[in-house]
Amino acid sequence: MDQIYSNSYLVMSVFLLLGIFLPFASLWIIGPLLRPNNPTPEKNTTYESGLEPTGDAMVQFNVKYYLFALLFVVFDVETVFLYPWAVAYDKLTAFALIEMVIFIFMLAVGLAYAWKKKVLTW
């Protein structure tokens, strides 16, 4: 019985070391050897639709764009959580229904807050 546990620790250690080593090896050892590296002044310039870049790169955008994107992410995550729950609804208990009602209520409060702050209007 002890041999099974020591073997599983060995396998886990090998996977942990590989999980740490492989990303570093691919980015800093293998990558520079395989990719072409021929920098020229033209290649190092900023590309902006075929035109020479003009003006400052630090442009401020309206915060509503960021809030709109954040709302999209929130409701996208809601869909990710809601779909599996709806598929397995007939196998779930009343506790799962209560949890989902709470989850949707919390999202509705966030939507009401965004609506009140007029984030959804352009």
The helix/strand/coil state of 22 is helix
User: What is d(CA 25, CA 28) in angstroms, rounded to the nearest whole number?
Assistant: 6
Residue scoring higher pLDDT (17 or 63): 17
Q: What percent of the chain has pLDDT over 70?
A: 89
Answer whether residue 14 shows pLDDT above 60.
yes
- Confidence (pLDDT) at 3: 60
The DSSP output letter for 51 is: B
Higher confidence at residue 99 or residue 78? 99
19 near 12, Cβ under 8 Å?
no
What tokens does 56 get?
A: 């400052």
Higher-confidence residue: 2 or 106? 106
How far is Cα 87 from Cα 81, in angstroms, rounded to an integer? 11
pLDDT at residue 18, as a whole number = 95
Compute the average pLDDT of residues 52-80.
Answer: 79
Q: What is the pLDDT of residues 83-114, one digit of tens each?
A: 888 888 888 888 988 988 998 898 888 888 88
Distance CA 66, CA 70 (A): 6
Say if residue 33 is exposed, middle or buried (CB neighbours under 10 Å; 0-12, 13-18, 19+): exposed
